Structures are given as structure tokens and as C-alpha cells.
Amino acid sequence: MNKIDQHSSRGFTLMETLLAVALIGMLISIFLTVFVPARGMIRKALTKQETDRVVGILRAEMNTVRENELAKGSNTSAPGKYTCAFDKGFYWIQASAKPATTVVIFSYRADTSASQRADGTFPPIPIMKSRPGKDTQLVSLACTMDNPIHRKDIVHAVGPVFLVKFTQIEQDGTGQYRLSRTPGVIAKASSPQKYFSSDSDQNPWGGTITFRADFYLMVPPNPDRYKKRPWSRIGRPIFSTNMSIRR
């Protein structure tokens, strides 16, 4: 009995300690490899088909003016509404000056048994109460982060949520094309009307605005976390593409 007591009270040997440290180190390494690089894993997992789908959602929404959709801070549009899809696209580009107001793309499970909202969409079923099948529909949409109807839908998103930063591709004085230094700024124009009233030297593409769209993963999908966050703190884009809007 005394020998057992003496053996149990002597603690761990150096070899046992080294083995424990090695095991803990291996577990931490596995954790960092599997759970931490979520952005990198999603970036690699995005296929050409998936990126085309995301871009397609954005393109379709920028070419659609929904019923009762409010214009973004413009006194030159029709009262409270966009006059056309170009008008909407113009202000969406400007809205991307900061993440808090930029365009967000996501999918959510809509409750088709509920009444439609002002813009014709159905409200979401909370993610914890999702019941695929009866009276539900998976809806994908693009909207500005501060959209009064859809802002609260983002936290119920199914799958990845993307932020989009728009940067105009403009022509310099030598006939070359360059990427603007500032996202959300449309050169020499503060409104769609001013853009079209510009002379040919200021507006060489006429009724077309060409821009680059950078898509960022929104983690976590909570608009409140992005109120004061600049683009420099969002990280790297998951993918990018060139686009244009035309009137």
C-alpha cells in the first residue's frame, strides 16, 4: 500500500509532459487548419457556376425596379422612387462607398404562407425555425445593407452572404482605362441627370458606367457589425468581375 501511495504522488515524468505538450500542439494545429481559414475554404469552394450565380443575382436586381422601392437619397429622382434601372444602379454604385450602406447578396427561406411585403417579397422564416418544404421558398436577392425591408432578413440568411464594393473604371486623358482610386465615386457626376448632361469629353462612354465589382464574404452576417467598419478592415475579396450599367 505504501509503495502505491509513493508512486501516485510523484507527478508526471519529463517524457509524459513532452507527450502531452505534443498532443495539445497537434490538436491546436488541427483546429487552426480546419476551423479558422473559413474565408480561404469558401474561396476555394466557389466554383465558376456558383460565382456566375452570385453575379447573376446582382445583375438581375440592378436591372429591376421593384414596386415601392425607395430611391437612395436623391432629390432628382421621382419622389421616393427610382425613375429607371440606370437610376437605381447609379445610386447603388455610390452606396458602396462604405460597407454599412453597400450592396449585400444572400439567400433566405421565405414564408410563403405570410402576407407579401411592400416590395412583393415574403418575410423570412427565422433560421432556427426553418421548415423546408411546405409553405416555404428559398429566395436569393441583392439589396443595400440599409434597406428598410430586408436589413433584418440578413441574419436569417441560408448559406454565404456577400458584400459588394463597386469601383468605377474610367478613361484617363490618354485614352487608357484605369480603376478609380475611390469606391462608390462616379467621376464628374453626382446624379444620373448630371452624368447625362456632361459633355462628351467628360463622359466618353455616353450612357454607360463600367465598373469593377469586388465580392467579399460577410462574416458574421450581422449589419450592426459593419456600421463603422471601413473597407480596409473587410479583408480580401473572394472574387471580382467587371460589369456595366447602361441606359
Which residue would you say has higher pLDDT here, 19 or 217?
217
Domain contains 92: yes
Q: pLDDT, tens digit, for every residue of 182-217?
A: 999 988 788 888 877 765 455 555 578 899 999 999
- Give domain status of residue 62, yes or no: yes
16 assigned to some structural domain: no
Task: Tell me if 132 is assigned to some domain.
Answer: no
Q: What is the pLDDT of residues 39-63, one digit of tens each?
A: 555 555 567 788 899 999 999 999 9
142 part of a folded domain? no
Q: How far apart are CA 171 and CA 202, in angstroms?
A: 9
Establish if 188 belongs to a structural domain.
yes
Type and span of the H or E element at 8: helix 2-8
State the greatest distance between any 2 C-alpha atoms of the chain, in Å, as a whole number.
101
Does residue 233 lie within any of the structural domains?
Answer: yes
Average pLDDT, rounded, for the chain: 79
Residue found by looking up cell 447602361 in the block: 246
- 31 versus 193: which is more confidently predicted? 193
Residue 78, pLDDT > 90, answer no
Look at residue 24 and tell me if it is in a domain.
no
Split into its structural domains, the chain has a count of 1
Outline where 96-190 has alpha helix (H).
none
Domain that holds residue 197: 41-106+160-246
pTM for the structure as a whole: 0.74
Q: Taking 80 as the threshold, does the pLDDT of residue 27 lie above it?
A: no
* 16: confidence class by pLDDT, cuts 50, 70, 90: low
CA distances from 235 to 50, 93, 199, 207 (A): 21, 20, 38, 33
